[in-house]
């Protein structure tokens, strides 16, 4: 079995909104193996984007991570401090967003946007200094952040309890003033407790802070030494060049290369990457603005920006939804090729099953903040087990037939009031009584294939998948058979 | 536009200008006044002088688009530019069918739909509904006058030069010189006079046409127009957030002069139930609905006018997967129930294939292929259609991973340097945009492959 590169365990994320707590992700677990493509399929609002934003550490400020772990290289990304995340975000995990127009800055030239990251990280002295102090800095910041997190959690818990109490109050029309006073008192107590926690943290982290100061001093000395050495080397070389202009130029270049990445160097790298992602005439394009590009080209630029560093994991959040079929094909081919060339793992979010079939090694189907079924793409497309997967497969118009579509009745649930039991039960015609009462666990279908539906319970009645799906699967398999046959001939 | 596309457009440009004006020759509209006014015309309150194509009235052709051009002009006075969103598109839509238009974004499919219902003033060409012209543009006629005049002036100059040369050619000592000079002068004079008369005729007919076009655009019968309705792409932007659902649906009725409030409310409720909503929804505002429901409101707004032709501009591309099938099924049901003719504009080929009887493929403002949907998928002829079809992702991991996408490069595939392309009928009902040489190739291909 391949190496697991990323592991998401029991992730729970909620959002504070004006209407109450929105439960966006409810207990999601999956893992990503090295070199594979994992497709996450689901409707809008099923929590697929939120999960991936959590991996990137770019959740909105009203998000609450209520539990779970995202383990990358033995580290829990949810516990990592912002300082340390700078080293991961973009460098190790890259992301491509859905709308290529709104993810580019409209008043900045393309070239500047691509080289921005390279130049920001280009000061080698600064990088060196940061590298030396990073361990201590991270230890210190982590300790502080953990304390802060604890304090915040206390306040958040109090706020959540208040919202619940107020909602309850309005429903029962009980004594309003009393409840409000109670809420105020609760919040005050929580704030006091938080202050206490902060004090304790400060005391605890004091030795770490002192250590950090010391390392900083040492680091400054080291960096100064390095700089002096580089300059001394340069002077020596200039002296030994005896007025040879070429030698002096070479020495100068060596000096700047040792100290920082110049704009020229950054541009050279950017042009290389632009060529790699298939942008014709990169020199000319380098100086243009985003509005001068077509949708497909813009998406290529976004991919190029993600690739200026060498990420191990590339998260693609519906990169082709805003594009036409032909351009979509081009972008999918590009992502596939880059994945192969650069040996990346890809998490691909989409709601188009055709794209899934094209890209995926494994598929996770999400509904209402949960993964309802996951397996290899063969498992999902040829032996689907969950009624939602059946419904998805049945509801896409087929090129080969004109029979009536099996539409999914109703709309996705409002996640402020997540349904009890199986979230899909109200829209499913296979729902049983137990579906409305209890949440189904994952049932194992095969080693790679799991589905969360009570239909797989040994006591459940035997249910066949809808006819339209089984026929399509038969047709698809037959198509493959024909193709294989003709190849053999 | 990148270079390839520019070349594609430029290569096929000239043939456009040389096209024959097949606006059906003026059965001088004034005669029509004496003919009995039919029931239909009375019902639709059609102006007797409105231009019509008699052979289409009462026939199967519901909508006929002839040489439709829609240009957009922008830029300053010095640096003025034009965008040819639609150039020279002609097609017929038959009663009861579902006609699909596909193409990439920016190919002019939406503009075509919008031009038909007069959301834009069309630049050139005509749109006939039930045989009556509902919209027309006069740019081509104006250009015709301009160019013919310029050419004739050049011709006159040439003639004058010719005259001078011929007079000089006569030797000075010729005894009959004066007679000869007079003869030549007379000859040229006559020719110029003849040409002037011909030009005047052309200018007069074109001016008459322009007058007719302006007249038609002014007197478009409202009742006829209200039979064509449109469903828009974005269910969020196309509904006024400050109007209740009832007001939104009623608006068209009010404009058409239905003032009875009770009657209107009844119609609104009936429509809401038809599209799967309930009466309580009528007093709510659009933001209270989900995307699928909003699209249903958009459909109800179009259907309350009791349309015969429904133009659907990407009605499902903004919707979620699970909602799409619902809307497709709804449109299918309504089509049968109300006997609608549907023009379906989309870029998702599998949906178009599922929904439509005939499909037109557009590429940069031109119609490149037009045929029945089954045939288009079985025997695509134009290379652009082939590349489009090869790009459809199918939900089948076994074949999908091996799918090879074909790339369409106009200037490599076509050679339009000498022979200009036009829309040709390869075999009955299958039109392809090609030149004579390609036409023969296609016919050959069809003979060998199609049974």
Taking the Cβ of residue A485 and every Cβ of chain B, the question of whether any pair is shorter than 8 Å is answered with: no
For residues A230 and A151, the answer to whether their CB atoms sit within 8 Å is no
Q: Parallel, antiparallel, or unpaired for β B124-129 and B132-138?
A: antiparallel
* Mean pLDDT along residues B59-85: 87
C-alpha B159/C-alpha B163 separation (Å) is 6
Domain span holding position A172: 147-224
pLDDT for residue B8? 61
- The reply to whether residue B393 touches residue A405, judged by beta carbons under 8 angstroms, is no
The shares of helix, strand and coil residues in chain B, as percent rounded to the nearest 5, are 50, 20, 30
The answer, yes or no, to whether residue A170 has pLDDT greater than 70, is no
For residues B64 and B89, the answer to whether their CB atoms sit within 8 Å is no
pLDDT for residue B9? 59
What are the pLDDT digits (tens) for B117-141?
Answer: 889 999 999 999 988 899 999 998 9
- Classify residue A112: in a domain, yes or no: yes
The answer, yes or no, to whether residue B28 has pLDDT greater than 80, is no
Whether residue A156 sits in one domain with residue A106 = no
Count Cβ atoms within 10 A of the Cβ of residue B204 and give its class: 0-12 exposed, 13-18 middle, 19 or more buried: exposed
Scanning A322-361 for CB atoms below 8 A from B yields 324-330, 332-333, 351-358, 360
Average pLDDT, chain A: 85
Chain B residues with beta carbon closer than 8 angstroms to that of A333 = 405
Domain end residue (candidates: B189, B218, B247): B218
Q: What region does A200 belong to: left with phi over 0, alpha with psi -120 to 50, or beta?
A: alpha
Whether residue B168 sits in one domain with residue B67 = no
Chain B residues with beta carbon closer than 8 angstroms to that of A394 = 325
Domain span holding position B207: 141-218
- Classify residue B348: in a domain, yes or no: yes
Whether residue B151 sits in one domain with residue B55 = no
Tally of domains in chain B: 3
- The reply to whether residue A360 touches residue B397, judged by beta carbons under 8 angstroms, is yes
> How distant is the Cα of A315 from the closest Cα of chain B, in angstroms?
20
- Classify residue A45: in a domain, yes or no: yes
pLDDT for residue B29? 46
* Mean pLDDT along residues B411-425: 84
Domain end residue (candidates: A362, A393, A413): A362
Q: Parallel, antiparallel, or unpaired for β A4-17 and A63-72?
A: antiparallel
- The reply to whether residue A326 touches residue B405, judged by beta carbons under 8 angstroms, is yes
Instruction: Give the confidence band of B396 by pLDDT, cuts at 50, 70, 90.
Output: confident
Q: Which residue has the tokens 């003709």?
A: A486
Chain A residues with beta carbon closer than 8 angstroms to that of B401 = 357-358
Task: Establish whether this prediction's ipTM goes over 0.95.
Answer: no
Taking the Cβ of residue A177 and every Cβ of chain B, the question of whether any pair is shorter than 8 Å is answered with: no
Instruction: Give the confidence band of A351 by pLDDT, cuts at 50, 70, 90.
Output: confident
> How distant is the Cα of B197 from the closest Cα of chain A, in angstroms?
51
- Tokens linked to B433: 């945009």
Whether residue B47 sits in one domain with residue B176 = no
pTM of the model: 0.78
- Classify residue A47: in a domain, yes or no: yes
**Which residue on chain A is closest to B378 by alpha carbon?**
A400
For residues A376 and A34, the answer to whether their CB atoms sit within 8 Å is no
Whether residue A43 sits in one domain with residue A115 = yes
The answer, yes or no, to whether residue A385 has pLDDT greater than 80, is yes
* Mean pLDDT along residues A352-374: 90
- Tokens linked to A29: 């677990």
- The reply to whether residue B354 touches residue A43, judged by beta carbons under 8 angstroms, is no
- The reply to whether residue A325 touches residue B105, judged by beta carbons under 8 angstroms, is no
Instruction: Give the confidence band of B18 by pLDDT, cuts at 50, 70, 90.
Output: very low
List phi, psi (to 5°) of B362: -115, 145
- Classify residue A486: in a domain, yes or no: no
Q: Which residue has the tokens 């995990």?
A: A93
**Which residue on chain B is closest to A326 by alpha carbon?**
B391
Chain B residues with beta carbon closer than 8 angstroms to that of A397 = 325, 328, 350-351, 353-355
Chain A residues with beta carbon closer than 8 angstroms to that of B277 = none
What are the pLDDT digits (tens) for B202-249?
Answer: 999 999 999 999 999 988 888 888 899 999 888 888 899 999 999 999
Tally of domains in chain A: 2
> Is the alpha carbon torsion for B140, B142, B143, B144 positive or negative?
positive
Whether residue B166 sits in one domain with residue B272 = no
The answer, yes or no, to whether residue A38 has pLDDT greater than 90, is yes
* Mean pLDDT along residues B174-179: 85
C-alpha B440/C-alpha A79 separation (Å) is 70
Q: Which residue has the tokens 């902060």?
A: A198
- Tokens linked to A364: 């996770």
Whether residue A84 sits in one domain with residue A151 = no
What are the pLDDT digits (tens) for B238-286?
Answer: 899 999 999 999 999 998 888 899 999 999 999 998 888 888 888 899 9
Of A325, A405, A483, the CB nearest to B391: A325
> How distant is the Cα of A357 from the closest Cα of chain B, in angstroms?
4
Chain A residues with beta carbon closer than 8 angstroms to that of B354 = 397-399, 402, 405
The answer, yes or no, to whether residue A482 has pLDDT greater than 80, is no
pLDDT for residue A174? 62
Domain end residue (candidates: B139, B173, B198): B139
Least confident of B23-37, B106-120, B337-351: B23-37
What is the domain-level CATH number for residue A320?
A: 3.40.50.300
- Classify residue A220: in a domain, yes or no: yes
- Classify residue A384: in a domain, yes or no: no
What are the pLDDT digits (tens) for A201-226?
Answer: 888 888 888 888 888 898 889 888 88
Long-range contacts of B416-419 (CB under 8 A, 24+ apart): B416/B11, B416/B12, B417/B11
Give percent above pLDDT 70 in chain B: 91
- The reply to whether residue A479 touches residue B396, judged by beta carbons under 8 angstroms, is yes
* Mean pLDDT along residues A452-458: 87
pLDDT for residue A363? 93
The answer, yes or no, to whether residue B337 has pLDDT greater than 80, is yes
Whether residue B212 sits in one domain with residue B156 = yes
Of B292, B347, B394, the CB nearest to A411: B292
> How distant is the Cα of B446 from the closest Cα of chain A, in angstroms?
21
Q: Which of B318, B232, B405 is nearest to A325 (CA)?
A: B405
- What distance lies between CA B52 and its chain's CA centroid? 17
Count Cβ atoms within 10 A of the Cβ of residue B10 and give its class: 0-12 exposed, 13-18 middle, 19 or more buried: exposed
C-alpha A218/C-alpha A214 separation (Å) is 6
**Which residue on chain B is closest to A389 by alpha carbon?**
B322
DSSP character string of A128-174: HHHHHHHHHHHHHHHHHHHHHHHHHHHHHHHHHHHHHHHHHHHHHT-
- Classify residue B283: in a domain, yes or no: yes
């Amino acid at each position: 079995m391949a190496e697991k590169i990323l592991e998401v365990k029991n992730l729970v994320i909620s959002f504070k909104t004006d209407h109450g707590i929105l439960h966006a992700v409810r207990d999601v677990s999956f893992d990503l193996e090295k070199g594979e493509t994992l497709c996450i399929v689901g409707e809008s609002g099923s929590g697929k984007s939120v999960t991936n934003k959590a991996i990137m550490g770019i959740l909105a400020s009203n998000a609450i991570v209520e539990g779970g772990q995202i383990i990358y290289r033995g580290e829990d990304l949810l516990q990592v401090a912002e300082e340390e995340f700078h080293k991961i975000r973009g460098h190790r995990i890259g992301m491509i967003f859905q709308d290529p127009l709104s993810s580019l800055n409209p008043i900045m030239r393309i070239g500047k946007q691509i080289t921005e990251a390279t130049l920001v990280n280009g000061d080698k002295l600064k990088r060196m200094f940061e590298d030396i102090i990073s361990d201590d800095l991270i230890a210190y910041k982590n300790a502080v952040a953990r304390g802060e997190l604890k304090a915040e959690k206390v306040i958040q818990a109090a706020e959540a309890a208040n919202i619940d109490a107020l909602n309850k109050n309005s429903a029962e029309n009980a004594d309003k003033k009393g409840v409000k006073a109670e809420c105020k008192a609760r919040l005050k107590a929580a704030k006091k407790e938080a202050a206490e926690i902060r004090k304790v943290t400060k005391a605890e982290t004091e030795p770490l802070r002192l250590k950090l100061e010391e390392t900083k001093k040492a680091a400054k000395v080291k960096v100064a030494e390095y700089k002096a050495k580089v300059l001394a080397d340069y002077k020596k070389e200039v002296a030994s060049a005896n007025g040879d202009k070429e030698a002096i130029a070479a020495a100068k270049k060596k000096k700047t290369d040792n100290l920082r990445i110049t704009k020229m160097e950054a541009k050279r790298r950017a042009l290389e990457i632009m060529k790699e992602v298939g942008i014709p005439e990169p020199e000319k394009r380098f100086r243009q603005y985003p509005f001068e590009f077509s949708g497909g080209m813009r998406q290529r630029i976004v991919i190029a920006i993600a690739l200026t560093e060498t990420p191990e994991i590339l998260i693609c959040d519906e990169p082709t939804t805003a594009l036409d079929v032909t351009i979509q094909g081009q972008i999918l081919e590009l992502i596939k090729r880059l994945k192969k060339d650069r040996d990346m793992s890809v998490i691909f979010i989409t709601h188009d099953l055709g794209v899934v079939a094209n890209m995926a090694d494994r598929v996770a189907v999400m509904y209402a903040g949960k993964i309802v079924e996951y397996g290899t793409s063969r498992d999902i497309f040829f032996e689907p087990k969950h009624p939602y997967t059946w419904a998805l497969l049945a509801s896409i118009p087929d090129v080969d037939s004109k029979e009536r579509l099996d539409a999914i009745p109703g709309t996705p649930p409002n996640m402020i009031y997540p349904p009890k039991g199986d979230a899909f039960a109200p829209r499913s015609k296979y729902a049983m009584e137990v579906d409305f009462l209890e949440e189904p666990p994952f049932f194992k279908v095969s080693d790679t294939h799991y589905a969360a539906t009570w239909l797989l319970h040994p006591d459940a009645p035997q249910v066949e998948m809808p006819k339209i799906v089984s026929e399509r699967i038969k047709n698809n398999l037959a198509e493959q058979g024909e193709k294989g046959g003709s190849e053999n001939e | 536009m990148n270079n390839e596309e520019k070349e594609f457009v430029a290569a096929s440009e000239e043939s456009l200008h040389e096209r024959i004006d097949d606006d059906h020759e003026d059965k001088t509209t004034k005669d029509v006044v004496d003919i009995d006014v039919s029931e239909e015309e009375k019902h639709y309150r059609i102006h007797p002088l409105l231009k019509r194509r008699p052979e289409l009235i009462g026939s199967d052709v519901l909508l006929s688009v002839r040489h439709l051009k829609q240009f957009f002009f922008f830029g300053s006075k010095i640096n003025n530019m034009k965008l040819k969103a639609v150039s020279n598109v002609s097609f017929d839509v038959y009663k009861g069918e579902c006609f699909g238009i596909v193409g990439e974004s920016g190919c002019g499919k939406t503009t075509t739909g919008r031009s038909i219902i007069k959301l834009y003033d069309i630049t050139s060409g005509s749109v006939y509904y039930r045989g009556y012209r509902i919209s027309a543009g006069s740019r081509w006629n104006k250009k015709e006058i301009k160019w013919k005049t310029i050419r004739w002036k050049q011709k006159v100059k040439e003639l004058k030069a010719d005259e001078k040369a011929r007079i000089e050619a006569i030797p000075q000592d010729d005894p009959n010189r004066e007679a000869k000079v007079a003869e030549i002068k007379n000859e040229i004079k006559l020719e110029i006079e003849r040409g002037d008369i011909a030009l005047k005729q052309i200018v007069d007919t074109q001016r008459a046409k322009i007058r007719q076009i302006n007249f038609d655009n002014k007197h478009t019968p409202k009742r006829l127009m209200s039979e064509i309705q449109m469903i828009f792409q974005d269910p969020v932007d196309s509904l006024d957030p400050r109007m209740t659902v009832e007001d939104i649906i009623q608006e068209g009725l009010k404009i058409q002069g239905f003032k009875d409030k009770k009657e209107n409310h009844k119609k609104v409720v009936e429509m809401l139930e038809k599209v799967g909503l309930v009466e309580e929804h009528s007093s709510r505002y659009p933001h209270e609905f989900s995307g699928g429901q909003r699209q249903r409101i958009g459909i109800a707004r179009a259907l309350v006018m009791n349309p015969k032709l429904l133009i659907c501009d990407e009605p499902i591309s903004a919707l979620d997967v699970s909602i799409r099938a619902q809307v497709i099924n709804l449109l299918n049901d309504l089509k049968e129930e109300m006997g609608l003719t549907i023009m379906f504009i989309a870029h998702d080929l599998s949906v178009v294939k599922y929904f439509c009887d005939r499909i037109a493929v557009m590429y940069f403002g031109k119609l490149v292929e037009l045929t029945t949907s089954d045939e288009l998928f079985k025997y695509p002829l134009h290379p652009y259609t082939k590349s489009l079809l090869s790009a459809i992702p199918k939900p089948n991991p076994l074949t999908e991973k091996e799918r090879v996408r074909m790339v369409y490069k106009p200037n490599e595939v076509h050679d339009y340097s000498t022979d200009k392309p036009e829309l040709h009928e390869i075999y009955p009902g299958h039109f392809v945009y090609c030149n004579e040489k390609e036409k023969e190739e296609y016919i050959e291909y069809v003979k060998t492959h199609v049974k």
